[in-house]
Amino acid sequence: MNRSGKFNVPFGRYKNPVICDASKLRAAAGALQGVKLVHGDFQRTLRGAKSGDFVYLDPPYVPLSATSSFTAYARTPFDGAAQARLAGVLRDLGARKVRALLSNSDCDETRQLYDQTLSEPVPVRRAINSVAARRGAVGELLVKSYAY
């Protein structure tokens, strides 16, 4: 959803869309049994993470260009300061022996943010782009808080 509370992803062109798939909703409900979903600031939320937990962090990616800048998923944009704060949280998780994995853009900014961590560039296929010729593999950086 965007800042106005509206969905900003096209619905598509479906002749007979399934609006409520009961079996998939039941499967999702079953998979979420015993799971705690939290909506809040990532730093505050992750204070409770402990050794033995696994955390996956998927922030708004660092923009690779001025036209790819989409960092405003919420009222407050996920800017450079938030990216730096997240890098600090990932390092803190590692120090506390909490296994965490983060994905982000593979660019100079993220490489600098995570230069003291275990990171690996990976090609990731993208099927969405306003220019069809630009669809395909893009570079992402996977960053781990753990070595094992």
pLDDT at 64: 74
Instruction: Evaluate whether residue 53 is within a structural domain.
Output: yes
Instruction: Evaluate whether residue 86 is within a structural domain.
Output: yes
Task: With a cut of 50, list the residues of the chain below it in pLDDT.
Answer: none
pLDDT at 39: 83
* 10: three-class secondary structure by DSSP: coil
Instruction: Evaluate whether residue 1 is within a structural domain.
Output: no
In the chain, the amino acid numbered 77 is P
pLDDT at 37: 83
pLDDT at 50: 94
pLDDT at 97: 95
Domain count of the fold of the chain: 1
Instruction: Evaluate whether residue 94 is within a structural domain.
Output: yes
Instruction: Evaluate whether residue 14 is within a structural domain.
Output: no
The CATH number linked to 129 is 3.40.50.150
| 107: containing domain | 37-144
